[in-house]
Amino acid sequence: MTFLKKLMSGQLALWCTFWLIGAPLTFLWCVSGTCSVIGCGIRESEIEGILLALFALLSVILPFLSIAIWRSASKYPRQTWPQTLLAAGAKLCVTVFGLLALVGLAVLLYIAYYMFIYPALNTG
């Protein structure tokens, strides 16, 4: 639990939160979302379900991770202009992907509503 506390409070180094945690999870989110939409040649429903579940899980995790990376970037030392540019670039990147993850989550909730909840309410 202390790792999550340090992560969310921005006490971990920016390179660690951005490159070791944020970049791989964002890459998985992009790949799972793209493969869920276009199929990636996969026609097995189990694999599609796993990809969709991974996309949904990462859509929930990425906004919180974006906040953690933002806090790490805010605590990043800025003695020179490249350090300032690096911190601003990290903030811009996590803002874009955090908002995209929220949009992805909203789309998933919309799909779930019309596939499961709406038909259940109209069968009565």
| pTM of the complete model | 0.85
pLDDT in tens, the chain (124 residues): 799 999 999 999 999 999 999 999 999 999 999 988 887 766 778 888 888 899 999 999 999 999 999 999 999 988 999 999 999 999 999 999 999 999 999 999 998 898 888 888 887 6
CA-nearest of 63, 54, 12, 46 to 30 is 54
Rounded CA separation 36/32 (Å): 6
Cα angle at 24 between 43 and 6, to 5 degrees?
Answer: 135
| pLDDT score for 124 | 60
Name the one residue in this structure whose structure tokens are 């579940």: 53
Cα angle at 106 between 103 and 110, to 5 degrees?
Answer: 140
Rounded CA separation 92/58 (Å): 19
What element of type H or E holds 108? helix 81-112
